[in-house]
Every structure is written in structure tokens, then in C-alpha cells.
Chains A and B, each alone.
Chain A
């Protein structure tokens, strides 16, 4: 039975193939004629986009060349395929790039089919950016969508291969902003040249270290402060708001402070902008390394007195924490249980964090209050540590008494045994 069915199956398969293959070929020629021709072109400028498009987020969602470039994808004839009569637009440049991308990305109904939660205001934002404004003024060298996202190898922003992925952003922005040639002629509002050192400075910053070295994806890169599609330098008035996006408590403390009213560049005055380094207590006070001293030089200046007092308070808490930790380590190494003291030390360390935050209110009274809470906790730790050391000494005294008693009994037993042996 089985043998007799095989010719029938084979015949059906061949007949089916004969019908299906031309249909498949027709479908391919309808959609891929651009790819077929461009892939075989010797000029890499024209062939490279075909290779790059493979794996592009648009290609994965069945978009094809004509969706951006127009033309007739079914014609193998170059003139016909590139005919403007058939909608051919060629390579979009400048404002055309924005318009081409915006055709889909600014259409909420259309985007809903592919990425329902994605924003559709990128083009509007772009128009408000420095890039967008310059482009509107006729500058063709400013960044457009493809400058940051790529043209034919576009990946989702969450894809680490995307130039817009967080750890790649500094390099992407730096491609233009770190190039003195590219930035030549661009000036700030005051007429001064725009520097090209931002990327190098950022790569020395605590933010870069957190993002790249410690893989903390919440750490900021260029677009977190400048915006992405609406990229612009933060205005003077919005500097604390920009930093406060992450450092909310510092922002609140600073806003209530005397410096909050007079520091034109807010946080940047002390911490810098692109090269924000690891903050330390040495920034505070009136030593040569401190920042306060750069303005408050006179010893009679209330700012000088306040800075000295605040640094003294923070140093006091740091020193007391170190001393208490050393005491508790000593007790722990002696084998005593110090779980409660460890918890209290952690609480005191939290107070130190609060104290360092409180510094941004520039109010020595308020800082003293937080420091006092910390030293109060440490007082309890020190008392417990001292009691533990007393207890340890007591145990050892007790041990020596016990050992003396045991030795006495052992000696008595030894003497008794010797007497017994002599009697036998």
C-alpha cells in the first residue's frame, strides 16, 4: 500500500512547486528589486545600505527601501525604478530627513500598530532644539535623526548596538561635538566659541564612571541633562531643576539656602558640569582644597566662619564613626556578639549621609542638629563597646579563677593517686 502512494505524493509536490515558485519569484521581484540591484553594485556607497538594512528595526517590521526613498521596487529598470513620476525621492537630506522619519513617527495612529507606548513628538521637540533651529535657519551640518540613530542599521534605543544606547550616547554626541573641525564657527549666544572638550570632561566624571564602570544605567549621560530630540544647553534658571531630577533632596536644600538665591550657575558653581568629580568633604571648609574658600577668604566673613563650622561638624561625625567602628571591631574580634552595635553604626553612617546632604542648605545650625543625632547614636555604641570590653575582662578573670580551682583539684587528685600507689 505504502509503495503505491509515493508517485501520487511526488506528482502533487512537483505540480504544487510549479505553481508556487513563479508566485514566490513575483513577490520577491515586487518587493526586493531595489535590494537585488543595489546588493550587486560595485560601488560600496550604493551597496552598503543593503547590508546595513539587514537587522534594521524597520526591516524586521517589513518596511522596505521605498518606504523612505520612494520609487518603483518592482521594476528592474534603473530609470523606471528611480522615476520621480513613481514617487522616487532619492536620499533625504537635512529637513527631508526629519520629514521622512516624521511621516510615520509623528503619526500616533500609525505608530500604535508597531510601538504603542512610543512618543510621537520627536519632530516637534527637534524643532525646539538648537539643532532644529539651526537647521530651520538653513544649516545643513547640524544633527538630524540619522546622525544619532543611523540610517540603514537603525536599532531600538534599548539595544546596546544602537548609537543612542545610554553607554554609547557620549560617543555619538562626541562625534560632532568633540570635533574642532565640525564645531568650527559655532558660537554661544554671547559669541564665544563652543568648546569641544565636553566628552573628555564627561569621561572623567563620576557620572560616566557610574554608568560605564559600575553599569548603573540610572546614571546620566549627555541627553539626561540636555534632552535628546530637544537637545539644548540647560538654561541658567533651570540648572538646579536639571540636577534635581536625580538629586532631589540636594535641590530642595539648595533652593532654601542663601546660595540658592545668588549662585547664577547653581550646582555647577561648586561641582562643575561635564566633569562632575566624586564629591568629598574636602570641598567643604576653608582649606586650600575647599571650594568655599575661593569666595569666603576673609576670616571675619560669616561665610568663612560658617564653612569652618560645618566642616568641623562633618569631620567630628566622621572621626567618631571611625573610632566607634574600631572599638566594635575590637570587641567583635574578641568574639563578642555586636549585632545591635553594627545596626547602630549603620544608623550613624546614615546620619553622616544626611549631614552631607544638609550641607547644601548652608545652615550650620541645621547641620549641627543632624550631626548631634549621629554622635548621640555613637555614644550608645561606645557605651555598649566599653561594657563589652569590661565583660570580656570579667570573663577572663573568671576563667583564671576557675582554672586555679581546677588546678587545685587536679593537684589534690594527683597527690591522692600517688599516695594510693605508694600504699599498694
Chain B
């Protein structure tokens, strides 16, 4: 191709050509799960693109935020589509990130030498949740306002640093325009910067180490089994793109048939409306805190719950270092059972929390 020759003459793409020709992906029965990481990345890209478009019209102040989103969905050409895609893609992104995390967990792909890939991935999931929490408030509607009040109130239950953390998140004692300003800064500057750095790191790790194979497949290879691979370019990339297109079709369908409701503008002096609940990915934690007794083991129930979730997050990040059997390429049924229990808990409490609210 003349254009490629033109570039090649100036930049010498021989290394890149060799890299694309040589890079391959292992083929085995579980390879379908590999695509979840790619879908998550694709949806993140959709978020960045649609988020930038929304930034052209969004105004981050308590007096203008709601009206600006209303303007976007009613007056701006295809504004409704951009906003709906951004909202739906955010939810699909978190769903894909969770699915990616659990697939990696059950395949034990975090085992040596990929501990850091897991750690960066787990941190990325937390950042995605941070995106969800901060973005939920930005339209400054009634449900988001009160849900943020509850959410930041829960942060206030963290022992010792809780009250300070709550004031830091809210920018004062209560959820106000100051909260909106800092959630906006978090959503469009701080979190994207941190996410971009971590995504680059995560991809570098994946690229450097290649893709993991399940323990059974590794055993088969060690026993002299033939290693099967497929070229990354174009075979794997084409499959990835195909999955992305399917995700895009889903997004378009959801955006057109189930537009994201804007609701009523937040009124700090209004009575708390019925049905206040956080986004679905916080529902399990929210419902758990709700059903905890007011006092457990001499501690406030909510405080104990927040501590337990904090501990669970630390344990999640530390999984590769705790699962010693997997690091020796041995099956670790205890961790599989733990993962299954966590998955069942998350699904069950999300459903119960949804029905209860």
C-alpha cells in the first residue's frame, strides 16, 4: 500500500510488522472469556468519546447542570443519543468489567507471573465504580441527589476517617453545588487520568506476558501436549472487532428503546422521594448495610459493614498473593468456592435490594 510504504520509508515499521506477524494467542476450550477484556476496553473508549461530546454542552453547577442535560437531550442534534449511549455504556462497562474479573478469577489467570496484571485490573474496577458513583450525580436530578446523600453518608461511617472523608467528598457538611463541582472534577479529570495510566499499564502487562492459559491446559502442555495458537493479527483482532460490533448493536438498541430517564431536578428542600436506591452495582452492598442490625459486636452495624467491604476490597486485590496453590499451577478449590460464593452473594443481594426498593 503506497501510504504504508510512505510511512515505512520514514519511520521504519519493520519491528511493528514483525511483531504483528509473530504475536499469537493460545487456543483452548476457555478462550471465549478472553473477549471480555476487549469488550471492557471498547466500552471504555465509547465512554471517553461520548463523555467528551457531553462536555461540549454540560455545565457543572447546581443551577445549570440539570437544565444543561435537559438541553442536551431535547435541543442538541443527536444529544439524546450521546447521553443515552453514555449512560448505557457506563452500565454495560461495569457489567463487562465484573464479568472479566470473575472469568479471570475462575480461570486463575492471576497466578504467577501475572499478579500485577490482576492488581492493576482490580484497581481499574474500583476506578470504574468511582466513575459510576461520581457520574450518577452530574445530571443533578432528584434520585441522584438523594442517592449521593446516602452514599456519601455511608462513607461517613468509615471508622476514624469517616466524618472527614464525608466532608471531603461532599465539599461541606451536606450535598450541595460544591459536591457537584468536585464530583465533576473527579469524573472528567482525576479518574480519567488515573484510569488511562492504569489501562496503559494493564495492557503493557498483558502484552509483555502474553495471555494466560488455564491450569488444565498448562498441565497438558507440560505433559508434552501440542500448543495451539492463533495469529493475533488478523484472526484474533477480527473476532474482537466482531464482539465489539455486537456490543455496539446492543448499545444502539438500548439507547433507542430504553432512553435513560432524566427525572426531576434535585431540590435539597424537598422530601426524600420514595424508591431511593443507588445504581445496580452498589445495590448488593447498599442492601447488606440496610439489613445489618444497628449494633454488632459492640460496633455500629453500618460501621462494621463498611469495614467488611473495605477488607473484602483489600482481599480482592491480594488474591494472587493469597492463593499459593494456584501460583504453583495446582487447582485451588477453596478459592473457586469463595469466588462462587461471592458471585452468588452479589447476584442474590442485587436482586433482593432491587425488589426491596
Task: Show the binding face of A for B, using Cβ within 8 Å.
Answer: 334-337, 339-340, 395-396, 398-399, 402-403, 406-407, 409-410, 413-414, 416-417, 420-421, 424
Contact = CB atoms under 8 A, between A and B. Distances in A.
B242 A420 contact: no
29 contacts: A335-B259, A336-B259, A337-B70, A337-B74, A339-B70, A340-B74, A395-B81, A395-B256, A396-B256, A398-B256, A399-B252, A399-B253, A399-B256, A402-B249, A402-B252, A403-B249, A403-B253, A406-B245, A406-B252, A407-B249, A409-B245, A410-B242, A413-B245, A417-B238, A417-B239, A417-B242, A420-B234, A421-B235, A424-B230
A328 to B, nearest CB: 14
B253 A420 contact: no
B248 interface: yes
B53 interface: no
Given A337-B70, A403-B252, 18 more contacts: A335-B261, A337-B262, A339-B74, A395-B256, A396-B256, A399-B257, A402-B249, A402-B252, A406-B248, A407-B249, A409-B245, A410-B242, A410-B246, A413-B242, A417-B242, A420-B238, A421-B235, A424-B230
Interface secondary structure of B, over-half rule:
helix
Contacts of B269: none
Contacts of B257: 396, 399
Interface in B249-268: 249, 252-253, 256-262
A31 to B, nearest CB: 52
Interface residues of B, number: 25
Interface secondary structure of A, over-half rule:
helix
A414 B242 CA distance: 7
Interface of B: 70, 73-74, 80-81, 230, 234-235, 238-239, 241-242, 245-246, 248-249, 252-253, 256-262
B253 A413 contact: no
Contacts of A421: 235
B233 to A, nearest CB: 11
Contacts of A335: 258-261
Question: What 5 pairs across the A-B complex have the smallest Cβ distances?
Answer: A335-B259, A399-B256, A413-B242, A406-B249, A337-B74
B264 to A, nearest CB: 8
Contacts of A402: 249, 252
Nearest to B71: A337
B241 A413 contact: yes
B245 A410 contact: yes
Contacts of B248: 406
Contacts of A424: 230, 235
Given A396-B256, A399-B253, A420 B73 contact: no
Contacts of A398: 256
Contacts of A420: 234-235, 238
